[in-house]
Amino acid sequence: MKFKAMINLVKAQKVAEEAVLKAGQYQKDQFLKKHSSWDKANQNINIKEDLVSEKIITDILRKEFPKHRIYSEEAGYLGNKKSDYLWIVDPLDGTTNYFLNLPLFCTQLALTYNKKLLLSVIYQPLLKTMLSSIKNQGARLNNKKVSVTKTKSLKKSIISFERGYYAKNKNWIPQMIRRFAPLCRKYRLMSCAGLDFFSVACGMTDGSVFYGASVYDTTPGVLAVKEAGGVVTDEKGSEWNFDSQFMVASNGKIHKKLLKLLN
């Protein structure tokens, strides 16, 4: 697929990596300290580390790509409204985990062009693990190529579930556990969408099912899973898009089985 006025994606990736590394270092330095919080919508919280991390990332992006637009979790839209390039930023995915001193969080971002995914980065500061993906160039974990699992049997599969901010059905997680648990080997609830995708892309888990997750939660991981050889669709098996409320990410080999259980 050809893009008009394509930027240097390798250079852009390095900028993205620099941004999440700096934000991640700040998060690591502040981890285990007492965090002040305030309530957001849908039983979610916000903490200072969200806002500081966001500023670290957006300042770097705006300096290096002043003509681009940014959409970030806390600040919303920033920059050039007419740009076809859009950076999607989740400065601290897994805020509640971080607030509780649970080490399940990451910082992540993606670059799109006319709603087409170009590159993404997901970084776990405590483990210093960077998952970088560029369209048609694969996914790399700390510069080593990764791929999804080859598991074909649902009985041998490990599946994770994620209910996001916009999920109307608050009972969805227990419903999914009752449906899937008897049929798969194990299931996981990470409360961090970025790490759900990270785990599928790196071959740690076999699939993940999402409901009501936001675009900044999911966009970086969608590209990572695809570039690692996996599949991402909505619950009907149609191509993923920014408006998808239900999403399924998998190694591809168990994808139809996951869809069947959802429908």
One-character DSSP codes across the chain: ---TT---HHHHHHHHHHHHHHHHHHHHHHTTS---EEE-STT-EEEHHHHHHHHHHHHHHHHH-TTSEEEETTTEEEE-TT-SEEEEEEEEE-HHHHHTT-S--EEEEEEEETTEEEEEEEEETTTTEEEEEETTTEEEETTEE--------GGG-EEEEEE-TT-S-TTHHHHHHHHHTTTSSEEE--S-HHHHHHHHHTTSSSEEEEES--HHHHHHHHHHHHHTT-EEE-TTSPBP-TT-SEEEEE-SSSHHHHHHHH-
Q: Which domain holds residue 168?
A: 154-262
Residue whose C-alpha is closest to residue 113's, from 10, 1, 19, 201: 1
Specify the pLDDT at position 2: 47
* Domain end marker among 103, 137, 171: 137
**143 belongs to a structural domain:** no
CATH code of 62's domain:
3.30.540.10
**1 belongs to a structural domain:** no
Residues 123 and 168 reside in one and the same domain? no
Residues 80 and 123 reside in one and the same domain? yes
Contact 240, 232 (CB under 8 A): yes
Specify the pLDDT at position 12: 97
* Domain end marker among 104, 137, 170: 137
Residue whose C-alpha is closest to residue 183's, from 150, 158, 165: 158
* Domain end marker among 92, 112, 137: 137
Residue 121 CB coordination number (10 Å): 27
Digit-by-digit pLDDT tens for the chain (263 residues) are 444 447 999 999 999 999 999 999 999 999 988 877 766 655 567 899 999 999 999 999 999 999 999 999 889 999 999 999 999 999 999 999 999 999 999 999 999 999 999 999 999 999 999 999 999 999 999 999 999 999 999 999 999 999 987 788 888 999 999 999 999 999 999 999 999 999 999 999 999 999 988 899 999 999 999 999 999 999 999 999 988 889 999 999 999 999 999 98
Specify the pLDDT at position 42: 53
Q: What is the number of domains present in the chain?
A: 2
Specify the pLDDT at position 33: 87
Which amino acid does the sequence have at 144? Answer: K
Specify the pLDDT at position 5: 44
Q: Cα torsion for 42, 44, 46, 49, to the nearest 10°?
A: -140
Residue in the structure block whose two tokens are 């799109």? 112
Residues 96 and 213 reside in one and the same domain? no
Specify the pLDDT at position 93: 96
Specify the pLDDT at position 43: 56
Which amino acid does the sequence have at 194? Answer: G
Specify the pLDDT at position 3: 46
**126 belongs to a structural domain:** yes
Residue 77 CB coordination number (10 Å): 11
